[in-house]
Amino acid sequence: MKFVIEPAKKCAGRLGLLTGIDRIPDKSYKTPLLLFTEQNLSREVLEISGFQNIAVLLSFDCSVQMTNALKLYKKGISEFIGLKECLTFVTIKNPCYPCLTGHHEKGSLPVYKKSGKINVTSEDYMTFIKESMPDFFVTLADGDTWHDCSKKRIIKSNERSNEMLDECIKHQQGIKVKWSKMIGTVEGGYSEHERRKSVDHIKQHDEKIIGYFIDGLHRNGHDAVSLDSIKVNEIVKYTLSILPHDKIKIMLGAFLPNQVLELVSIGIDVFDSSFAILVSKMNRALTFNFNLQNPALLDSGPEIDLTDSKYKDDFSPFVESCQCLTCKQHTKAYTNHLLNTKELLGPMLLTIHNLHHYKMYFEAIRECIKNDELSDLKEMIDVQYKNKTFSYEVQKNVAQTN
């Protein structure tokens, strides 16, 4: 797998190309890249919704139960789930759902599934990687740090993560993982000192690492929405300054669209669609405008609540210019009815639209970088989300639901 950075006019963001992927050598992916995190849409729905040539994020916590089946299947998780033509990336925890903290035990990482907690060792994790054969994956790490956690917790997180990295590399060499490439997980919370220690340790294995995953800044789910953007930008910018320039950089989480642009401008290459999924779970549709050629802003704002009674007789699409399956074939009124009567089709139509809207947003981001218009796009998105107070907290007291 190769990551080629394209020359940019200025320092606002960077364009890149992922190519030479061992399993799918005829495919290439442009960065900034969006990873699709929704696992409840079938191959058929993805196809008719126009989601071709996508990159898919699969989390260990939602997929570990497949290990034995994958061992018998012997063709990897991409083909197992019917998406053999898609790029697959494995992370530890699903970024859509809040993570529980604490409960650490020596030599393992606590991971919460729907059925409860399991303690995962590096050998457990690498066995899953061997059987699932993703195109690339993050190393096992203790990312249980957040904006106000203690210094002691950050230090312990780093020590445990370094040990897990060494174990992952040892197991990778021993079990001969087929074609899967390793992404080094950088920990250290909001401490520059600890971030440098983490980076220095990963650099000892630089020839085995194709990129870096910057972790440990939030606890997934709605926690990523409410971050202090200034603190996040500062620590991410510092971390990138001590990492090799030519390797891919990944950050996961439900960041607001304007925060995504901040991270793009700093130098992050890969994100995920958890924000779009979070908005869908709140029964809202994304409507924010990212078209610089037609900058008119909608009076309804960047998101609309389709359970609101004012839409029960509104027979227009979510967004007039949208070409997604939902907007071409359905209306706000119909979706309002589905959501208020608890029909399963309602959330699915919302998810299809929001994923499409977010996918097109990333296409616009790449175009703006190419044309040196990223600052204009950021100003446009900032205006729409300024002083908006949306709730993104799903009312469910579990670590995850899938």
Classify residue 310 as exposed, middle or buried by CB count within 10 Å of its CB (0-12, 13-18, 19+).
exposed
The SS3 call for residue 42 is coil
- Distance, in Å, from the CA atom of 237 to the CA atom of 234, rounded to the nearest integer, reads 5
Q: What are phi and psi of 391, to 5 degrees?
A: -95, 135
pLDDT, tens only, 154-200: 999 999 999 999 999 999 887 777 789 999 999 999 999 999 999 99
99 is an annotated ligand-binding site residue: no
**Residues 211-217: what's their mean pLDDT?**
97
The predicted structure's pLDDT at residue 395: 59
**Residues 391-396: what's their mean pLDDT?**
72
203 vs 392: which has the higher pLDDT: 203
Residue 388 has pLDDT above 80, yes or no: no
The predicted structure's pLDDT at residue 42: 79
The predicted structure's pLDDT at residue 292: 93
pTM of the complete model: 0.95
The predicted structure's pLDDT at residue 402: 39
The predicted structure's pLDDT at residue 9: 64
How many degrees, rounded to 5, is the angle at CA 344 between CA 340 and CA 349?
A: 85
**Residues 276-304: what's their mean pLDDT?**
91
The predicted structure's pLDDT at residue 398: 32
What lies within 8 Å, CB to CB, of 298 at 6+ separation is 287, 289
**Residues 302-320: what's their mean pLDDT?**
96
The SS3 call for residue 336 is helix
Q: 15-25 burial by CB neighbour count: b if 16+ within 10 A, else e?
A: bbebeebebbe
pLDDT, tens only, 126-158: 999 999 999 999 999 999 998 889 999 999 999
Long-range pairs for 231-238: beta carbons < 8 A, 24 or more residues apart = 231/147, 231/190, 232/259, 232/262, 232/263, 233/262, 233/263, 233/266, 235/190, 235/192, 235/195, 236/263, 236/266, 236/268, 237/266, 237/267, 238/192, 238/195
327 is an annotated ligand-binding site residue: yes
Residue 397 has pLDDT above 70, yes or no: no
Of all residues in the chain, what percent carry a pLDDT higher than 70?
97
Q: Which helix (H) or strand (E) holds 88?
A: strand 87-91
Q: ω into residue 32 within 30 of 0, thus cis?
A: yes
149 is an annotated ligand-binding site residue: no
Domains and their CATH numbers in the chain? 2-279 (3.20.20.105), 288-385 (no CATH)
Residue 242 has pLDDT above 90, yes or no: yes
